[in-house]
A and B are shown apart, each in its own frame.
Chain A
Amino acid sequence: DQQVKQNSPSLSVQEGRISILNCDYTNSMFDYFLWYKKYPAEGPTFLISISSIKDKNEDGRFTVFLNKSAKHLSLHIVPSQPGDSAVYFCAAISLLNRDDKIIFGKGTRLHILP
């Protein structure tokens, strides 16, 4: 049972445009959401997070939006740069339950086109 779903395996975006990566979740106990970026042959690196008490968190070119009623979050990257080409994992955790497991989606591979 996939609790965190990233339905787009890949996405291609022109350099300079906005990249929008989507993520859906099913477990209503999740109260903290994270995005990780992963280059080939490297471990995931933390990008940005959002608590369920917020609906938006912004950090430079990266903004994460959370729609709790729809159980949906998205990562916006603007403007997209060549170095943004990577696999992006959406992840969720239940802090209220003091659960230490991060639940990951399958990832979306982002290609930034020149």
Chain B
Amino acid sequence: NAGVMQNPRHLVRRRGQEARLRCSPMKGHSHVYWYRQLPEEGLKFMVYLQKENIIDESGMPKERFSAEFPKEGPSILRIQQVVRGDSAAYFCASSPRPQGDTDTQYFGPGTRLTVL
């Protein structure tokens, strides 16, 4: 059973471009979470999605950031008009049930975004 997959592993963008980060959850997992880790910081929650639904986006910046988890295909975290401050490692995690019913989320290897 493959783990959580994220691609690309490294992404370089110039200011003003768009960044698309993809996350394929573990087989059988329908709950996806995105976290961002800034340098020298812990991981910070951004958004929680189930198939075709955003459940909690309280950690997502109001502008330029969006996330989706379509019925088919991976979850996508999209950052429009990237700025230098968006440079970070973005981690996706998945779980088979809501967090309240399980004791852990399984993390992917992360996408390191660098904005020039």
Residues of A whose CB lies within 8 Å of any CB of B are 4, 6, 9, 32, 34, 36, 41-46, 49, 89, 93, 95, 98-107
| Residues on B with beta carbons closer than 8 Å to the beta carbon of A34 | 103-104
Contacting residues of chain B (26-85) with chain A, CB-CB under 8 angstroms: 31, 33, 35, 40-45, 48, 55-56, 58-59
Which 3 interchain pairs have the tightest Cβ spacing?
A43-B107, A104-B42, A101-B45
Counted as pairs of residues, one from A and one from B, with CB atoms less than 8 Å apart, the total is 69
Contact of A100 with B100 at beta-carbon distance under 8 Å, contacts A4-B42, A44-B43 already known: yes
A4, B45: Cα distance in complex, Å: 13
| Residues on B with beta carbons closer than 8 Å to the beta carbon of A101 | 45, 48, 56, 58-59, 99
Name which residue of chain A comes closest to B6, CB basis.
A43
By DSSP majority rule, is chain A's interface helix, strand, loop, or mixed?
Answer: loop
A43 touches B108 (CB 8 A): yes
B25 within 8 Å of A by Cβ?
no
Pick 11 A–B contacts, CB within 8 A, sort by A. A32-B103, A34-B103, A41-B110, A42-B110, A43-B4, A45-B107, A100-B31, A100-B98, A100-B100, A101-B59, A105-B42
Contact of A106 with B41 at beta-carbon distance under 8 Å, contacts A98-B98, A98-B100 already known: yes
Contact of A106 with B45 at beta-carbon distance under 8 Å, contacts A43-B108, A93-B99 already known: no
A42, B105: Cα distance in complex, Å: 15
For B104, B105, B106, which residue has the most chain A Cβ atoms within 10 angstroms? B104
Contact of A46 with B104 at beta-carbon distance under 8 Å, contacts A98-B98, A101-B48, A103-B45 already known: yes
A6, B41: Cα distance in complex, Å: 11
B109 touches A89 (CB 8 A): no
Nearest-Cβ distance from residue B58 to partner chain A, whole angstroms: 7
| Residues on A with beta carbons closer than 8 Å to the beta carbon of B104 | 34, 46, 49
**Beyond the given A43-B6, A89-B43, could you list 10 further A-B residue pairs with CB under 8 A, ordered by the A residue number?**
A4-B42, A34-B103, A36-B107, A43-B4, A43-B91, A43-B108, A100-B31, A100-B33, A104-B42, A106-B41
A44 touches B99 (CB 8 A): no
